[in-house]
Amino acid sequence: MTIRYVAIGDSFTEGVGDELPDGRPRGWADLTAQGWADSLGEPIEYANLAIRGRLAGPIVAEQLEPALALRPTHLSFNGGGNDMLRPGVGMESIADAFSHVLARCDEEGVRLILLSGANPSGGLPLSRLIQRRGDELSAAVLRRIEDRPDVIRALNWPDRELTDPSFWSADRLHMGPRGHHRVAARVLTALGERAPEDWWDLPHEGIAHLERTRYYREHVLPWVRRRLTRRSSGDGRQPKYATWTTIEPRPSA
């Protein structure tokens, strides 16, 4: 049976922070697809409908049914990171999105790969609030799947090593290449496939971390401006792989 893997989500799944030389985002889902083909030694089909800036509700409303219409064998879902940064959001309401995705995957006979995002709180303003909300969201989601051992889990929030700044990009909100490779290694391991050993801990390339004033000017204030104007970093963007693309295994070394 050919593996047909589709990913839905926000910037985490789109791959923001792990850009190729031409500026296109790669990220953990692309790496997982390639690693999966390599591990199997045969091609897989891959699609990625994730759009940066999306809240959990819109991810489900806009991406889930188009993803299922592709008739995948596996679907990965993560969401809620953008919701957590907004005031007054209930974690149970975000967890409802996870329950809905699982229910639809059950109905369509699709295996769900469930991810939690890594914890960025140490490098961000309001770090204690973000930590608390992330803990609450993780607990709420895990309660929804506690009796579902068939759900493939790739949980990154509890990974304390991923909180190190070397795993993050300059904006401190999105993971850099080291972080995306570590997440891909975790997903492949959860799938029972072989992950390249060095993906767990790539050499640190020395991401430049901006001093406080420049960081706020270049990253925090634009984010606040988008919130005030009700705009999203994903406005006008299209999925990078809206239909199946074939991922060929790389030759063995």
Mode of pairing for the β-strands spanning 4-8 and 74-77: parallel
Greatest Cα pair distance, the chain, in angstroms, is 54
| pLDDT of 122 | 80
| pLDDT of 213 | 65
| pLDDT of 79 | 94
User: pLDDT (tens digit, 9 = 90+) per residue, 172-213?
Assistant: 789 999 999 999 999 999 999 999 999 999 987 655 565 566
Helix ranges (DSSP H) in the chain: 11-14, 28-40, 56-59, 65-69, 81-84, 91-108, 127-144, 177-190, 212-215, 221-228
User: Which residues in the chain land under pLDDT 50?
Assistant: none
